[in-house]
Chain A
């Protein structure tokens, strides 16, 4: 199975800051990576697919990058509504595995 390691596990940032979350795959997943946002008490929502493609309706302050085994999610100009848990997920090979999540809080 492909292991997905996210870092950091949690982070605290101020409004307007730029934050970056990392995701490391245990083998090359050829950009088959998605990012999801889960707000407190809600279902996850797709933010990014294929490493860097923004899903419909997602604000442009979110961006994804990376290749091979290393990927990142960047949030520019942090807003209060971005307080969430963020998960990465590989859809290159079954079983389709998720990272453990990064909890983003406001400082």
Chain B
């Protein structure tokens, strides 16, 4: 068990809808990351937060947004969903968010857009 909790584990929704994915980082970790995993694209970095503030942004679509709350949990909001958004979404955490820190990944949320 990595200590990172993601909910829900599975999410099935329709095109055009909006969903929220939730992540609780490992105790003591200040930085949270979101990744998208699809068969053809591998692990794609979406966004990173550190202690409530955005630290880095990757290939995150404008339809997607995220935030990290004062208790350090994070939410990833996906709106106007398209079929191509179907993927496994991972949250990871680390202590300070430095490049050479070990990332602890949650078990992911499998999103299916029908």
Question: Do A and B share a complex?
Answer: no
